[in-house]
Structure 1
Amino acid sequence: MRNRRNWGVTAVVVALLLSGVTPKGQAATRVYYVDRVAGSDSAAGTSPQTAWRTVGRVSAAALAPGDSVLLRRGQTWSGRLTVRSSGTATAPISIGAYGTGERPVLGGDPDRCVELAGSHVRLSDVQVGTKTTTGRCGWAGVLIAGDHDRVEGVLVTGAAAGVYVAPESEGAVITDNDLVDNNRMSVNTPGGYDDSGAFAILVQGDRADIGWNRISGSIAASYDYGEDGAAVEVYYGSGNHVHHNVSVDNETFTELGTAPDDPDGVSADNVFEYNAILGSRTHAALVTRGGETDEGPVLRTVFRNNSVSLPNAAAEGVVCYGGCTDEHLELAQNVISAAAKAAYADPGFTATHHNVFHGLLQLDPGTTDVVVDDPGFTGPSNLRPRPDSPAVDLGTTAYADVDLDGNPVGLDGRVEAGAYELPVARR
């Protein structure tokens, strides 16, 4: 919904670039074209008729703020595309597509297929990786190392980490993407409990905005854990905002951790809100920990207005262990249904309010929490509330402007628990 607000501006800018007209007050920008079939790396690259041929030529280019590189649709490149140059907040460097047909495909690198090393770089309208062995990205589909880089409208598949936000990155935006079957393990060895991988998004940087994505199939066999993976894994990262995503059949929606070598010394203040988390293969919505484990403490995680339905017999909705206290987690205005247990937290945890829990509860519910036999979802894969759902009007605070459907939150003065508002017309 909200992405449409920028379409008119984008269309005007693209038209100006293609016509050679520079908006008043802006430096001249360049558009480069890449055609794997008809291009030549010795050509100028500045028109479809003089297109470059390889992503290596793109990686070697000294791009300037406002420049664009467009890959021809319907074509596939093997090898790494790296953007080392930086744009600015008002003139980002853009990597996108031109022509007709399917999205251009970038794949086949043994480590990462796309590396955004510069800042203010935007990647859009491409596919990164494939499900075939030769087209896969060995580790990451997209590696974000710069600040304020943006990945939008991209299909990422087949990697160990679909999008990896490196520790040095700050302010990345990952929005409106399809992250499908990023189901490879990067470490998978018997013993040691060190297996790792199958991440749709792995966040080690700070203050990333991760919203409006569709994430599925981040799950893989693991020697140590049986199965492993996550839609959004946060390790080291602080101040990240994960919101308005749909997560289906990922092993876990999110797990948070840290370590003594965390570059800024702490993992804290991550917020998860207005996400729908479901699927028969998912084993947990959120896993975090206090300071009594090697991978803790993770401080001040907020999990609010999420809708969770996990029918797997082993599924647990929320788990906070290892000395979990109110300093580590707050649960607010969620609807959580899980077959094994709705929630677990260590004794003494009390930061829970205005939630609907369905399933075994191994924490002391707050006075405003509701424990029910029926969470009131419309259906097993439709987590919108029925009019008789206990989630209706349970909330007190509008934490976001719109719900997961793009409907206004609290427009009628009432707020639902969970990721979806009940439209006024259905009341």
Structure 2
Amino acid sequence: MKRRIVPLRLRIASARPRPRTLGRLALAAAIVAGGLTAGAVSAPAAIAAGTTYYIDSATGNDAAAGTSPATAWKSLAAATSRTFAAGDSILLARGGAWSGQLAPKGSGASGAPITISAYGTGAAPSISGAPLATGGAVQLENQSWWTIENLAITNNSGTDNFGATTPGTARAGIQVRNSAGNTTLRGIVIRGNTVSDVNGCFACSGLDAHDNGGIVVDTTAMGANFDGVLIENNHVENVGRTGIVVWDNSYFTTSQTVVVQSALTSNVRVRANTVIDPDSDGILAFGTDGAVLESNVVRGAGQRTFEGSDMPASAGIWPTRGMNTLVQFNEVSGTRLHKTDGQGFDVDMGSTNTRVQYNYSHDNEGGFLLLMGGFSSDVVVRDNLSINDAWGGQKGVITFSWGVPAPVRIYNNTIVIPPGSPAKPIYCDGDAGACASSTPGQWWFTNNIVDNRGTGEYTYPGLGTNAVFSSNLFSGNHPVSEPADAAKITADPGFVAPGTTGDGFGVANAYKLTAGSPAISSGAVQSANGLRDFFGNAVSPTAAPSRGFHEAAPPSPAPALFDPAADWSISTARSANIVIDTTGPLSNMAGDAARFKRSNNAAGWIRWDAAPGKVVTLTTFHFSQPPSAITIVALDASGVETAVPTTATAAVATTNGWTTRTITSGALPAATRAVEVRFGPVSAWGIQVGDVTIN
């Protein structure tokens, strides 16, 4: 097995990794140089802004105006040869089918994107990229403010493109690329599409193989990135190599020795997508700041590999080479293990401040979670459910690989290992130094339930020095390697319906705690615990919680969430330009020592967990900026947003022209699961948010 060690130095690094191999990160110039566009003409025609254009494969005519269904164009080339303007729409007839590439030109604007969508009735318009040598069936390059929706896309060349003998070429269903150096592209929305049957390469010519597959948003030039990528409600099936990938490898030098946070792709949201049977990875975020990967379903990742591959590994959902990532409310199952990895989730190398919470992982051959040691830090793993993971016996339900991404806090998870399983509850791999008692990096394993009916042993780093086990419940079989824990419980946890398995979050109800369970109210208090469990039940910040992912004795009334803006321990996610300001004079801020603000004038946001009926109260500070520059949005389980009405008190003068107000929301709507406070694109200096209360 070949695994190339890629050097990487983050400013917070402290350990030497052996990373998950990511292949060649530089794309060949021939692939970036515009050769991906089919049907282009030498002088694309400029067309009027705010116009809707129609394409009908059955009755259209490329010589027609294209501005009504009766005058629709016929071919994709008719759109590909033109430059569109802000507010335009390109609509494809439902029931229509095309072969080739749709690659229109132009950029939209904030509030006026260019939209590719469908019109009429019947099946979604179908585009096959089969004739293409490489690239996406729908392709955008160096373009901002586009929405791609309601299409059915395939891209199978019909040839052996896998790369096992000869390197293949990159293919994608939908590809949005930034190949312009030192340029930020904005406002990319990809939603409601079906992408299937893409024969991308597993070993590629001039390209890292992770960077092709179903839906691809990528950069290929130094200093190139994106700000604002939303990929939601897509169905991706039977694609290679990766199901959905946001790939920004422009944030480091060619030797990957220096990470520049400001160059990361930001404001990425991948939510409510379904990915079925990809050749390898399900969903991958590489080189992002503030990515939110939520409410996705990934099944059967890792379908293919080949002997001698230098990147045989796969995982269902994983971030790497990024910061401030939130992975939550996802279901991942059936990931296969080829030589290594095979987990449902992976926090890979170079990951700073990552939360993995409220996920359901089951039947993944390599386990629930991989934690890569080198150059990662500040990982929280809480309130997840794992059933029958690591059934292959090679890895652990939780696997540390080549060290500890310290600090790591693993608490209030429920792990179920069925009878006969060889799964290791916790496992460590790498060289002897990575799995020794002296392995550096502090980590905590607290308030978890491990219902181990299998035969696997424990192996983990930092035993007796940096590994702290506290207030866990270990039931079932008790191997001699089971961790020492002064407050451990070894009784049966009292699940509602133990042994229940299957797809869907409804399975989790079987692993709630019944009355009389020894896990109830016997855990250790965790600071900044999110104030909720897997099911949305309140969790007290001061009273002993239940062990495991179910809070069976929630406090009543539910505690208020209070965030004084002192750190990031209470909020769950934020845009890359949100920072904490502690500068003075504090008299301007009525003595408030810490506030949230933006580092630039672009719009920004910060998110907290929340529940229906709650009210959000903000202390805000203004310099020549109105209260309307701050808005509040509620999000449900699928990421659907609802604007929440607000009221603001009269401005109270502080000093030096500053004022303070209190902004209060209406009651959060039914089905609310999170709330975001959003800053408009106004002066970053002139508006800040201090205390945040959700009660």
Scaled by the length of structure 1, what TM-score is found? 0.72
Q: What is the CA distance between 1:244 and its match in structure 2?
A: 0.7
The question of 1:99 aligning with 2:220 is answered: no
Match 1:336 to one of 415, 419, 432: 415
Q: What is the CA distance between 1:214 and its match in structure 2?
A: 1.3
Q: Which residue is 1:166 aligned to?
A: 247
Work out whether residues 83 and 115 of structure 1, in 8 Å CA contact, stay in contact via their aligned partners in 2: no
Q: Which residue is 1:144 aligned to?
A: 217
Q: 1:350 to 1:76 in 2, by over 3 A?
A: same
The question of 1:108 aligning with 2:155 is answered: yes
Structure 2 residue matching 1:120: 3-state secondary structure: strand
Work out the CA distance in 2 between the residues paired with 1:71 and 1:390.
59
Q: What is the CA distance between 1:87 and its match in structure 2?
A: 4.5
Work out whether residues 496 and 513 of structure 2, in 8 Å CA contact, stay in contact via their aligned partners in 1: no
Q: What is the CA distance between 1:165 and its match in structure 2?
A: 0.4
Work out the CA distance in 1 between the residues paired with 2:77 and 2:551.
48
The question of 1:253 aligning with 2:340 is answered: no
Q: 1:172 to 1:366 in 2, by over 3 A?
A: same
Q: 1:417 to 1:77 in 2, by over 3 A?
A: farther
Q: What is the CA distance between 1:233 and its match in structure 2?
A: 2.9
Q: CA RMSD in A?
A: 3.6
Equivalent AA in structure 2 for residue 298 of structure 1: S
Q: How does 1:190-269 map onto structure 2 within 5 Å?
A: 198-206=280-288, 207-222=290-305, 223=307, 228-251=313-336, 252-258=343-349, 266-269=350-353
> Quick check: 113-122 or 362-371, which moved more?
362-371
Match 1:380 to one of 498, 501, 516: 501
Q: 1:54 to 1:170 in 2, by over 3 A?
A: farther
Q: What is the CA distance between 1:86 and its match in structure 2?
A: 4.7
Work out the CA distance in 2 between the residues paired with 1:52 and 1:282.
49
Work out the CA distance in 2 between the residues paired with 1:302 and 1:137.
34
Work out whether residues 82 and 115 of structure 1, in 8 Å CA contact, stay in contact via their aligned partners in 2: no
Deviations 1:117-155 (A, max 9, x none): 34212122221122xxxx545532111133212111111
Structure 2 residue matching 1:49: 3-state secondary structure: helix
Q: Which residue is 2:470 aligned to?
A: 367
Structure 2 residue matching 1:383: 3-state secondary structure: helix
Q: How does 1:405-420 map onto structure 2 within 5 Å?
A: 408-410=536-538
Structure 1 residue matching 2:227: 3-state secondary structure: coil
Work out the CA distance in 1 between the residues paired with 2:94 and 2:549.
36
Work out whether residues 85 and 119 of structure 1, in 8 Å CA contact, stay in contact via their aligned partners in 2: no
Structure 2 residue matching 1:170: 3-state secondary structure: strand
Match 2:276 to one of 158, 180, 205: 180
Work out whether residues 78 and 108 of structure 1, in 8 Å CA contact, stay in contact via their aligned partners in 2: no
Unaligned runs of 5+ in 1: 1-26, 184-197, 259-265, 291-295
Q: Which residue is 1:13 aligned to?
A: none
Match 2:449 to one of 356, 369, 375: 356
Work out the CA distance in 2 between the residues paired with 1:272 and 1:177.
17
Match 1:286 to one of 356, 363, 369: 369
Q: Which residue is 2:378 aligned to?
A: 300
Deviations 1:185-224 (A, max 9, x none): xxxxxxxxxxxxx111121131221111111111224336
Q: 1:79 to 1:140 in 2, by over 3 A?
A: farther
Work out the CA distance in 1 between the residues paired with 2:546 and 2:528.
9
Match 1:276 to one of 360, 369, 375: 360
Q: What is the CA distance between 1:253 and its match in structure 2?
A: 1.4
Q: Which residue is 1:194 aligned to?
A: none
Work out whether residues 255 and 287 of structure 1, in 8 Å CA contact, stay in contact via their aligned partners in 2: yes
Q: What is the CA distance between 1:319 and its match in structure 2?
A: 0.9
Work out whether residues 77 and 106 of structure 1, in 8 Å CA contact, stay in contact via their aligned partners in 2: no
Work out the CA distance in 1 between the residues paired with 2:550 and 2:60.
48
Q: What is the CA distance between 1:285 and its match in structure 2?
A: 1.5
Q: What is the CA distance between 1:66 and its match in structure 2?
A: 4.3
Question: Sequence identity of aligned pairs in percent?
Answer: 23
Match 1:72 to one of 90, 93, 107: 93
Q: What is the CA distance between 1:410 and its match in structure 2?
A: 0.7
Q: Which residue is 1:121 aligned to?
A: 188
Q: 1:352 to 1:80 in 2, by over 3 A?
A: farther
Work out the CA distance in 1 between the residues paired with 2:100 and 2:404.
44
Q: How does 1:29-44 map onto structure 2 within 5 Å?
A: 29-44=50-65
Deviations 1:5-31 (A, max 9, x none): xxxxxxxxxxxxxxxxxxxxxx97444
Match 2:237 to one of 157, 160, 176: 157
Q: 1:136 to 1:289 in 2, by over 3 A?
A: closer
Q: 1:39 to 1:380 in 2, by over 3 A?
A: same
Work out whether residues 371 and 405 of structure 2, in 8 Å CA contact, stay in contact via their aligned partners in 1: no
Structure 2 residue matching 1:121: 3-state secondary structure: strand
Work out whether residues 110 and 187 of structure 2, in 8 Å CA contact, stay in contact via their aligned partners in 1: yes
> Quick check: 246-255 or 226-235, which moved more?
226-235
